[in-house]
Amino acid sequence: MNSWRSNIFAWAELTPKHPVADFDLFVIGGGSGGVACARRAASHGARVALVEESRMGGTCVHRGCIPKKFLVYASHFKHDFEDAAGYGWSVGESRFDWPNMVAAKNTELVRLEGIYRRLLKDSGVTVIDGRGALLDSNSVAIGGEQYSADTILIATGGWPALPDLPGIELAITSNEAFDLPQLPKRIVIIGGGYIACEFACIFNGLGAETLQLYRSDMILRGFDMDVREICCDEMRKYGVDVHLNSNPVKIEKTAVGIALTTSQGDVLEADQVMFATGRAPNTAAIGLQKAGVEVDQKGAVTVDSGSQSNVANIYAVGDCTDRVNLTPVAIHEGRCLAETLYNNNPQTPDHRNIPTAVFTQPEIGTVGMSEEDARAQCAAVDIYKARFRPLKHTLTGRDETVFMKLVVDHADDRVLGCHMIGTAAGELSQLLGVAIKAGATKAQFDETVAVHPTSAEEFVTMYTPTTA
C-alpha cells in the first residue's frame, strides 16, 4: 500500500500541470460590442481583460454615430432659421463656425471616453492600452507582454474601404471628415449608402456646395424602393446635387483644389473629395491565422449563430463579422455571448426586424420588410401609403414631404414592414420596431386611437390599401 501511494505521488509530480489562465475572457477591441460583452461577463463573475489600441468607445463614439449626430444637429439650424420667419420670428444674419463645432465635439468625446473607461473599471474589467494580437487560440500578445485566456473575443470593428484609384491619396473618408481644419466650400461625396447620404446632407446643411456621386441608378440599396426614390428627391430639394450611374475614374490636384473625373467624362472641381463606398472588417494583423481562425474573402470572421468561430474558444461580435453592421446590433451580440458563457443563460442574437434610421434631411426610419422583399416571400401583400406636407410647413412654405408605408401580409394581416421619411422618423422606428417584433396586425394598428395632430397618426389611420 505504501509503495502504491509513493508511485501515485511520484506520477503526480512528474505529470505536467495545466496552468490556470490569466483571464476567463480576453476581449480584443474596445468598441460597443467588446465593451458590452466585457462588462456583462465581469458582472457575472468572470475574470475579464480588454485591450484597445486607440480610443475607448470605438467607431461609434469617435468616428461614427455620436459625432455624426452632432453634425446632423448642426446642419439643421440653417433650415430652422429660414423656417422661423413663417412663424413670425426675425432671425438676423447667421454664420457657422466649423472650428468651434469641432472643438465642442472633441470635448464631449473626451468626456465619453472617460465614462467608458470608468464603467469598465467599475465592472472589474482589466483595461490594457495597446494593440492586441493572437499568438495562438489561448494567448494574446500586447507589446512585449503576453496573456493567456480560456476564451477570446474578437471585437475589432470595421474600417473605411477605399478603391484602387489614381489619386486616391487625395481623398478622405468619414474618419477624417470629423476633424477637417476647415469646412470645405465644395465637396464631392462618393457612395450611396448610409454614410454617403448622411454626410451629403450634413455638408449641404452646413453651407458647402455638395455633390453626391453614386454608381447605381438609385441610392440606399437594400431599402424599400419608395423610400429610396423619395429620399433622393427630398435630398435634391434641400440642395444636394445627386449624380446617379456615375463612377469616379481619377482624382487630381489642381491649383485651386481637387478635380475628380467621372466615368461619364465630367470633371468635378472641389475643395474636398470624400469616399463612403463601404467598410471592411478590421481584422488584419491581429493573428487570426496563427490561431487558425477562418475569415471570408472580405476578412470578416466567420461565426455561427452564437458568434462562435471555427475555433471553439474564440468568438467574434460586431462589424468584424460583417453580419449587421450597426452599433446596437454589436451590443446585442456582445450581451448575448456574455449571458451564454457566464450566466448559464443561453441566448442567440436575433438579427430579424432590426429598426434603423438614416439621418438624411428629412430622415428615414424603417423596420421590417421592404415591399420588394415581402412580395418575394409572401403569396400576397397589401400596401398602405400616405404622402403629405407636414403641418409645420404649411406656414413656412417649405416644400418637404412626409412619407409613410405599411407592408402587410394578406394571409394573416401581420404588419411586415413600417417605413417613414420625415421629422422624427428614427424615433418612431424604435417604437414601431416593438410592434413588428410583437407580431402586430394591421387590425391592431387600426384599433389604436390616433394622437392628433401628429404625423405619426397616419400609421394608425391608413385604412384603405393603395396596392395589393
Average pLDDT value for the chain: 95
Query: Does the pLDDT at position 196 exceed 90?
Result: yes
> pLDDT tens digits for 42-99?
999 999 999 999 999 999 999 999 999 999 999 999 999 999 999 999 998 999 999 9
Per-residue pLDDT tens for 271-306?
999 999 999 999 999 999 999 999 999 999 999 999
By the 8 A CB rule, do 317 and 334 touch?
yes
Q: What is the CATH number of domain 23-160+280-342?
A: 3.50.50.60
Q: Is the pLDDT of residue 111 over 80?
A: yes
pLDDT at 467: 84
Residue 9: the pLDDT is 41
Give the residue-averaged pLDDT of 247-259: 97
Q: What percent of the chain has pLDDT over 90?
A: 95
For residues 281 and 274, the answer to whether their CB atoms sit within 8 Å is no
Domain ranges of the chain: 23-160+280-342, 168-276, 356-460
Give per-residue pLDDT as tens, 347-402. 999 999 999 999 999 999 999 999 999 999 999 999 999 999 999 999 999 999 99
Q: What pLDDT score does 128 carry?
A: 98
* pLDDT score recorded for residue 339: 98
Question: At residue 11, does pLDDT exceed 50?
Answer: no
> Which grid cell is 215?
454608381
Q: Which three cell numbers stand for residue 218?
A: 438609385
Residues 455-468 have a mean pLDDT of 95
> Beta strand pairing status for 241-243 and 248-253?
unpaired
CB atoms under 10 Å from CB of 221, counted, come to 10
pLDDT digits (tens, 9 = 90+) for 138-171: 999 999 999 999 999 999 999 999 999 999 999 9
Name residue 248's beta-bridge partners.
262
Give the mean model confidence (pLDDT) for residues 172-176: 98
| DSSP helix/strand/coil, 196 | helix
% of the chain surpassing 70 pLDDT: 96
- Residue partners of 114: CB distance under 8 A and separation at least 6: none
Check: CB of residue 192 under 8 Å from CB of residue 219.
yes
- Average pLDDT (13-30) is 77
Give catalytic residue positions: 452
pLDDT at 468 (0 to 100): 76
User: Do the domains 23-160+280-342 and 356-460 sit in the same CATH topology, yes or no?
Assistant: no
pLDDT at 10 over 70: no
- Which 3-state string (H, E, C) describes 274-287? EECCCEEECCCCCC
- Confirm or reject CATH 3.50.50.60 for domain 356-460, answering yes or no: no
Per-residue CA distances from 21 to 34, 43, 47, 139, 146 (Å)? 20, 19, 10, 9, 11
Q: What's the pLDDT at 8?
A: 38
| CA 199/CA 217 separation, integer angstroms | 19
Q: Against a cut of 0.85, is the pTM above it?
A: yes
Q: Domain 168-276: give its CATH architecture.
A: 3-Layer(bba) Sandwich (3.50)
Whole-angstrom distance between the N-terminal and C-terminal Cα of the chain?
A: 87
Establish whether the linkage from the previous residue to 362 is cis, with ω within 30° of 0. yes
Please name which of 300, 353, 339 lies closest in space to residue 322, comparing C-alpha atoms: 300
Mean pLDDT in residue range 112-135: 98
The DSSP code for 135 is: E
